[in-house]
Amino acid sequence: MFDGFQREAFRLETRDDYSNSGSVEAYRLFLDGRPKPQGYNADWLDEVRVHVGAGRRVYRVHVVTRPLTSYLRFELGWGYATNATAGEEFFILDVTRLTDPLVGVEDFWLFDSVTAVPMRYTHDGRFLGADVLPDDQGDQYVGYREMALAHAVPFADWWAKYAE
């Protein structure tokens, strides 16, 4: 899907643990208090730079509740802060003191406001797979995206206030 989108790739993240899905070794380093490895996330950074450089937007909203899990401190502190340098945009929907407007909505990617790709995970953050839905189902996911963005704030602003 990342090879073919024309305008935008949006991701909704709803989980507080993806620790068994990727960056497992980096997460262990983080937990051990070690520094971020040189070249951390380099392949993704390169991909984002290509898309952003071609005028395509890559952005996401993560639904969180404070206090953050260890995994979210890792993902936001190492991942988001690093990925933003390549032009990826991040927003936080903090539901610590408000009702989650997206209760029951699972993680997904949405490409060009048309093609939705819901993602499945185990309770302990292991990625199980994704389903590319027919384009006529994209409108429902556009609604989820718009709801998420309406309640979210830019990551940098939120992180400046709540970084742990």
Measure the CA–CA gap between 135 and 157, rounded to whole angstroms.
Answer: 34
Least confident of 112-121, 122-131, 146-155: 122-131
pLDDT of residue 67: 96
Q: How many domains does the chain have?
A: 1
Domain extent for 89: 8-162
Q: How far is CA 50 from CA 22, 28, 55, 85, in A?
A: 22, 29, 9, 13
CATH number of the domain to which 26 belongs = 3.30.870
The pTM of this model reads 0.95
Share of the chain above pLDDT 90, in %: 91
In DSSP terms, which residues pair with 94 in a beta bridge? 64
Q: Is residue 48 situated within a structural domain?
A: yes
Q: Is residue 1 situated within a structural domain?
A: no
> Could you tell me if 152 and 91 are in contact, meaning their C-beta atoms sit under 8 angstroms apart?
yes
The owner of tokens 């990551």 is 155
- Structure letter (DSSP) for residue 16: S
Residue 164: pLDDT band (50, 70, 90) is confident
Taking only the tens place, the pLDDT of each residue in 5-50 is 999 999 999 999 998 887 889 999 999 999 999 999 999 999 999 9
Q: Is residue 62 situated within a structural domain?
A: yes
Measure the CA–CA gap between 22 and 58, rounded to whole angstroms.
Answer: 19
Q: Is residue 44 situated within a structural domain?
A: yes
Q: Is residue 2 situated within a structural domain?
A: no
Extended strands (E) in 65-146: 89-94, 108-111, 115-121, 127-130
Taking only the tens place, the pLDDT of each residue in 97-108 is 999 999 999 999
Is the per-residue pLDDT at 88 higher than 90?
A: yes
Q: Is residue 61 situated within a structural domain?
A: yes
Measure the CA–CA gap between 58 and 51, rounded to whole angstroms.
Answer: 8
Residue type, 81: A
